[in-house]
Amino acid sequence: MTAYPARSDAFTLTAPVRLWEDGFAADPYAYYATLRAQGPIGWAELAPGVFAYIVTDRRAALDLLHDTETFSADPRPWEKTVSEDSPILGMMRWRANALFADGAEHVRYRQTLLDAFDLVEPHELRERVHKAVDILVSRFGPDGQADLVTQFARPMMALVFNNLFGLPDSESGRLDAALGAMMEGGERSAEGEAEYGRYVMELIAAKTARRGDDLTSRLLDHPLGLTPEEVVWQVFLTLGAGHEPSANLISNALSRILGNPAYYSTLTSGARPVMDAVMEVLRYETPLANYGVHYARESVSFHGMWIQAAVPIVISFGAMGHFAEKDFAGGHHPHDASHVSWGAGPHACPVKQPALLIATESVERLTQWLPDMEPVVARDRLTWRPGPFHRSLTALPVRFTPRTPDRVPSLSPDASDASDQAGDRA
């Protein structure tokens, strides 16, 4: 076990910071400041009655994420203490997948995911993203106005993922709606989790019956021999872990670009590249704001805080980025201020290059279609979805000169363009 500094007896717990409140979505930085005032690790409520330690300090976060002897990713001891109907379980309950596994079991699950994604060629992925953007522009382009969250970023990710995993485009709307409800962790969470489960089960059944050139088929046939149930849980993890944060990465980046003179000419002449906006989001407004959940195997003193075993410890990527941004604004950018938004240690995001490609290509393709997009609402008046885990806009309305693409593509290999489009709209 790693030796950490002794517990500070001066440290006393104050009232937990309620990350489930609507106020957190409106102004997370006030909540992060309260947590930071408690020390490197603060005390919060993720849902009513569900408590967690929140790590807001970069050094403590890195120590924790690398120390697999002291900390485990397995939530089962904690789950025994949580009411079965708690809305938070959708995001945190144990499943037989990489995110909740330790040691050799984790390596085995993770390897299957790495191998499956390794076969996705960047140029193919780029083409899928472009087609997905074109499908969406064909829907809202003629209107001259759109909400880039619900009509672009979220359905774009759903179209791409639904396709990568092997279902026809017409199924992508279900995926988007179910994941959205589950992620918010509120009243609709259980309904969203159940619908997402049905989507994944139907996907596995379809691919078990007939393999294709898709991620699900690769997982089913992987030489490490996942059982069908294990495949279900790797798919459940990967679609969820990919769709929500990537959609939010895209919409948060677009919100920084639109109406910002530093980027404005990017849309036509390239003042600052889209990747800069994506990196700004990762550094200062990361979409997976609080996650990387771990549990002390035994009660332990860690960075001056007494950590009880089997209580969630959540890494606040959002707080760390926010404090780095403040340091930077004050001209004191610390040398180690590079972001930790992909996590760190054995569970760090295994799909970050594809995620970056999807984010930059989708924004570039959209701005090629609609180079004169203007925000309808100023950035500081935009609203954010509730939930302790994400930094996610509710809407990003824009207007632009109407565009009607001549041809509407399809991602589904066996659907004609027109029929697929009709199905997807239904």
Residue ranges that bind ligand HEM, judged by CB under 6 A: 98-99, 110, 113, 237-238, 241-242, 245-246, 249, 282, 286-288, 291-292, 341-343, 347-351, 354-355, 358
Smaller CB distance to ligand HEM: residue 287 or 388? 287
Smaller CB distance to ligand HEM: residue 303 or 391? 391
CB of 390 to ligand HEM, least distance (A): 10
Dihedral of the CA atoms 402, 404, 405, 411 (nearest 10)? 90
Separation CA 384–CA 374 (nearest Å): 19
| Residue among 346, 314, 392 nearest 99 (CA) | 346
Smaller CB distance to ligand HEM: residue 141 or 166? 166
Separation CA 162–CA 239 (nearest Å): 8
Separation CA 416–CA 153 (nearest Å): 24
Structure tokens at 292: 């990387």
Smaller CB distance to ligand HEM: residue 284 or 400? 284
Is residue 185 within 8 Å of 387, Cβ to Cβ? yes
Range 115-122, long-range pairs (CB < 8 A, 24+ positions)? 115/218, 115/222, 116/215, 116/218, 116/219, 116/222, 117/215, 117/350, 117/351, 117/354, 119/218, 120/164, 120/215, 120/354, 122/353, 122/354, 122/357
CB of 203 to ligand HEM, least distance (A): 15
Smaller CB distance to ligand HEM: residue 352 or 422? 352
Smaller CB distance to ligand HEM: residue 92 or 408? 92
CB of 211 to ligand HEM, least distance (A): 21
CB of 345 to ligand HEM, least distance (A): 7
CB of 397 to ligand HEM, least distance (A): 23
Count, in order, helices (H) and strands (E) of the chain: 17, 11
CB of 25 to ligand HEM, least distance (A): 18
CB of 289 to ligand HEM, least distance (A): 9
Smaller CB distance to ligand HEM: residue 113 or 370? 113
Is residue 244 within 8 Å of 287, Cβ to Cβ? yes
CB of 226 to ligand HEM, least distance (A): 14
DSSP state of 83: -
Smaller CB distance to ligand HEM: residue 141 or 287? 287
Q: Looking at the DSSP assignment, which residues form a beta bridge with residue 399?
A: 145, 374
DSSP state of 16: P
Containing 246, the helix (H) or strand (E) segment is: helix 228-257
